[in-house]
Chain A
């Protein structure tokens, strides 16, 4: 038994070292200037050009993405429980497809579509649309891409939430008490789904805040792209921002675990 315990603590200790040392070292790196401790890298973040605009852009994109993905997925997943179960395989396949197309391949396709604008559509109203969705102040095309990338997680979160409640009985009970369809949905089903909705929103938020591939290759500058862009000239501050963004993301995901029970979310994107 003693040997077993020794083995266990060895494994846990090594794992702890491996996972904690880079974090500790990042903090040390960001406060240590030639052996002197200073928090300049942190205090000058807000004043650095581009920080506020890129962070705001990321947050706006996250809010829009969450709104769109929930608007699309909540009615669809609820309907699957209410008699449209024959559509379940279709929805399942649609929501798993993004897992087969890596983000970098997806963005290659998107940029091809965007190139059609000047090449083929320059005299049609479609051209205006293609220009409009690439507005650098608020690139709608990123929202479209992020919604697609969030579909697998959101589907899994909502499906797990709906599995735990009997939607049909809830709706029937509400309807027989005189509620309309929308009342039944908003006042009976959705309140019972609060955990799943939060879960889905947090995951989408974490996805959008950390997303780099699509935004960088389409030439926009939300938060993650901004960090990389400043890292060349201000290495210390980029590490400081990375540490902060990590802490924020972890706080979000931990909040999610507290709200939504033990988190078993498996992402497949590195």
Chain B
């Protein structure tokens, strides 16, 4: 989608450029100032707080790595690992199921079905948070409709645990995967399949040697994006399980509300910094993969 319209002649462009520079900066400046205050200030405060500890007796602040160390120990480490595990498992399942669903839709002959599924995915991928949690509580919670009618409780079902959260997260992760992978599946040319078949390849061989290698960057990129999305999710988990499952977002919220040991007031900020580092890592992996997969979609 990078088709550029023909530009105006060279001379007017140059003159507009010269006149346009100062107003250009002027137009961008408010945005930069705003983000410096509304985003930069909290970010710096977090960074600063993550490395400061306040002396109880004197009230003097000093720089230390104590918070960061504390954030990687005990219950905080368990929470961090819990978040990573939950995000990895749900992102992994969503990647596979999203691929299957997208493939079923892309190869369908019914255009209306495709459009409907893609529109619904756009809506559902943006649907997280509180209403999602309540929908699942009403369905599979302790007094949920399905729990009661199917007697799931006697069979040991518990929504408010690890597997329950995974099931709920899939609700917005699968649509996100469908949206991410559909352009790549549409980029698989029919000719490639035909060429493989002409050379005597079976269906499985086509997928193993042609389709999956082409799709790998997109699949990995999608997985990483899903991981980041699940890792950052807070509202769904908070509204559903309270703090019975160890997750880093729930620990931060808990610590922000003052439930910390003396001398660890800033551990919430250190945990936040941990999260930013993970999210930054996710982006650092995702962006090159996205560029690589974009090669096949031209």
Interface residues of A (CB under 8 A from B): 7-8, 11-12, 15, 18-19, 21-23, 25-26, 28-30, 32, 71-73, 75-76, 78-80, 82-84, 87, 90-91, 94, 96-113, 116, 144-145, 147-148, 151, 163, 166, 168-169, 172, 181, 203, 206, 210-213, 216-217, 224, 227-228, 231, 235, 238-239, 242-243, 245-246, 249-250, 253-254, 257, 262-270
A268: contacting residue among B129, B140, B229, CB under 8 A: B229
Which of B46, B136, B225 has the most C-beta atoms of chain A within 10 angstroms of its own C-beta? B46
Interface residues of B in 230-252 (CB under 8 A from A): 230-236, 238-239, 249, 252
Residue pair B123, A168 in contact (C-beta under 8 Å) = no
Instruction: List, sorted by A's number, 21 A–B pairs whose CB atoms are closer than 8 Å.
Output: A22-B136, A25-B144, A28-B138, A29-B139, A72-B31, A84-B28, A94-B35, A100-B276, A101-B39, A112-B45, A113-B42, A116-B45, A168-B8, A212-B129, A213-B234, A228-B130, A239-B138, A254-B119, A266-B225, A270-B128, A270-B172
Which partner residue on chain B sits nearest A251 by CB separation? Answer: B123
Contacts of B228 in A (CB 8 A): 268
Contacts of A116 in B (CB 8 A): 45
Contacts of B13 in A (CB 8 A): 168
Contacts of B23 in A (CB 8 A): 79, 82, 181
A30-B138, A83-B16 known; A210 vs B131 contact (CB < 8 Å): yes
B215 CB to closest chain A CB (Å) equals: 17
* Sample of 17 more A-B contacts, CB < 8 Å, known A30-B138, A262-B115, A264-B118: A12-B105, A19-B120, A22-B139, A25-B139, A28-B138, A76-B30, A82-B23, A83-B17, A102-B232, A102-B275, A105-B272, A148-B35, A212-B130, A213-B235, A227-B134, A243-B135, A268-B225
Residue pair A87, B279 in contact (C-beta under 8 Å) = no
Residue pair A270, B233 in contact (C-beta under 8 Å) = yes
A96 CB to closest chain B CB (Å) equals: 8
B44 CB to closest chain A CB (Å) equals: 8
B239 CB to closest chain A CB (Å) equals: 5
Is residue B12 contacting chain A, with contact meaning CB distance below 8 A? yes
Is residue B260 contacting chain A, with contact meaning CB distance below 8 A? no
Residue pair B137, A105 in contact (C-beta under 8 Å) = no
Residue pair B233, A105 in contact (C-beta under 8 Å) = no
Residue pair A28, B28 in contact (C-beta under 8 Å) = no
A144 CB to closest chain B CB (Å) equals: 4
Residue pair B122, A108 in contact (C-beta under 8 Å) = no
A83-B24, A145-B38, A269-B229 known; A224 vs B279 contact (CB < 8 Å): no
Residue pair B130, A104 in contact (C-beta under 8 Å) = no
Residue pair B283, A84 in contact (C-beta under 8 Å) = no
Interface residues of B in 253-294 (CB under 8 A from A): 253, 256-257, 268-269, 271-273, 275-276, 279-280, 283
A29 CB to closest chain B CB (Å) equals: 4
Is residue B125 contacting chain A, with contact meaning CB distance below 8 A? yes
Which partner residue on chain B sits nearest A215 by CB separation? Answer: B235
A29-B145, A76-B31, A87-B25 known; A104 vs B169 contact (CB < 8 Å): no
State the majority secondary structure of interface residues on B.
helix
Residue pair B279, A99 in contact (C-beta under 8 Å) = yes
Give the docked Cα–Cα distance between A147 and B43 (Å).
Answer: 15
A163-B1, A212-B239, A270-B230 known; A80 vs B28 contact (CB < 8 Å): yes
Is residue B69 contacting chain A, with contact meaning CB distance below 8 A? no
Interface residues of B (CB under 8 A from A): 1-2, 5, 7-8, 12-13, 16-17, 19-21, 23-28, 30-32, 34-35, 37-39, 41-46, 49, 97, 100-101, 104-105, 107-108, 113, 115, 118-120, 122-131, 134-140, 143-146, 169-174, 176, 179-180, 225, 228-236, 238-239, 249, 252-253, 256-257, 268-269, 271-273, 275-276, 279-280, 283
Residue pair B28, A76 in contact (C-beta under 8 Å) = yes
Contacts of B37 in A (CB 8 A): 144
Give the docked Cα–Cα distance between A11 and B214 (Å).
Answer: 23
Residue pair B123, A253 in contact (C-beta under 8 Å) = yes
Residue pair B38, A84 in contact (C-beta under 8 Å) = no
Residue pair B138, A109 in contact (C-beta under 8 Å) = no
Which partner residue on chain A sits nearest B29 by CB separation? Answer: A76
B182 CB to closest chain A CB (Å) equals: 9
B101 CB to closest chain A CB (Å) equals: 5
